[in-house]
Amino acid sequence: MPALRYIVEAAKLNEMLALLHRLFDLRITFFDMEAQELDYFDIKPMTPFCRRLRSSPERERACVTCDREHLEVAKGARKAHLYRCHVGLLEGIIPLYDGRGIYLGAVVFGQLRAPEGKPPAGCGRTLAGLYRRLPECSPERMADIARLLEHVTDHLVRSETVRFRNRSWAEELERYIAANLSGRITTGDLAGAIRRSESFVSHLFRTEFGTSPASYVRKRRMEAAREMLKAGEYVGRVAERLGFYDAFHFSKAFKAFYGHPPVKCRASAPVR
C-alpha cells in the first residue's frame, strides 16, 4: 500500500506511547498496516533479553514470524489479542480500525514474563539470566492493560491521529452520502456524484471503504440514527428524516443492525 495513503501524526502518537510506557513500565510500540514496526517513536527500548535473543539471525526470523502471525490473528478478530510468544513471553496486540472498517495497524505491548515463567529450554546461562530480569506481569494485569489500551486506541482513531488517506473521489463520496442519507442512494447516484462510471464505483469502492456501497450507506444511516436517538429525537421522526417508510420499518432495520430496538438508545422516547 503506498505510504502516502497512510497517515500517522507522529508527535501525538509518540506522546501517547511514551506516557503509557512510563506509567506501566512496559515496552509499547506501533505496527503499521503492513506489519512493520514504526521506528520513529520515543518508545521504551527492547528488553535486553529480546535484544540478545534477536542477535541471532535465525531467532530474529522466528520473532518476526511470531509477530506477524499474531498481528494477523488480532487483525482478524478485530479486538485485543493476548498471547504468549514463541519463547513464552506475555504480549498483547490492540488492532485499530476506522469507522469504515479499514485496518490502520496495531498497538503492541509486552516483552513481559509470567510469574511462573521459565527461561526457554537450551537458551544458555546469559540469556537465562536476562530472562529472569524481565518485568513480571500476571495475565490479569495484562487483561487490564489491554482494556485500557482499547479505550486509548479508540481515541487515536476518533482524533485521526492514525488515519487512512482517502483519494479525492472517495472524500467526495463520503460528503455526498452524508448529505443524502434521507433518500435512496444507488451506485448510479454515487457515480454521478464523482463524475465516474458505475463500473468504477463498483470495482473501487470496497478498496477505499472496506465494504460495498450498500453496506456503507446502511452503516452511515444507522450511525446517524443512533446519534439522533441519543440526542433525544423521537423514533418516528428519525425514521422520517432518514427516509424509512415508517417507524416500524426503521425499528426493524435498526434492530437487525445493532441487535436491539431503537428505543434502547432513547428509553424515554415513545414511538410516534
Which of these CATH numbers, 1.10.3470, 1.10.1760, 3.30.450, 3.90.550, describes 3-164? 3.30.450
Instruction: Name the burial class of residue 262, with classes exposed (0-12), middle (13-18) and buried (19+) by CB atoms within 10 angstroms of its CB.
Output: buried
Q: What is the pLDDT of residue 10?
A: 66
Structural domain boundaries of the chain? 3-164, 168-264
Highest mean pLDDT among 54-58, 84-88, 246-250: 84-88
**55 contact partners, CB below 8 Å, separation of at least 6:** none
Work out whether the CA dihedral 85, 90, 95, 96 comes out positive or negative.
negative
Q: Global pTM? A: 0.62
Q: What is the pLDDT of residue 21?
A: 81
Indicate if the pLDDT at residue 196 is higher than 80.
Answer: yes
Whether 3-164 and 168-264 share one fold: the answer is: no
Residue range 68-77, pLDDT digits in tens:
999 999 999 9
For the chain, how big is the Rg over CA atoms in Å?
23
- Taking CB atoms within 8 Å and a gap of at least 24, the contacts of 204-213 are 205/173, 208/166, 208/167, 208/170, 209/100, 209/101, 209/102, 209/170, 210/100, 210/101, 210/102, 211/100, 211/101, 213/185, 213/187
Q: What is the pLDDT of residue 160?
A: 73
Q: Which residue has the higher pLDDT, 13 or 51?
A: 51
Indicate if the pLDDT at residue 66 is higher than 90.
Answer: yes
Residue 30 β-bridge partners: 107
Average pLDDT score, the chain? 86
Domain spanning 168-264: CATH 1.10.10.60: yes
Q: How many CB atoms lie within 10 A of CB 176?
A: 15
Mean pLDDT confidence for 228-232: 89
Q: How many CB atoms lie within 10 A of CB 251?
A: 19
Residue range 30-42, pLDDT digits in tens:
888 878 887 656 6
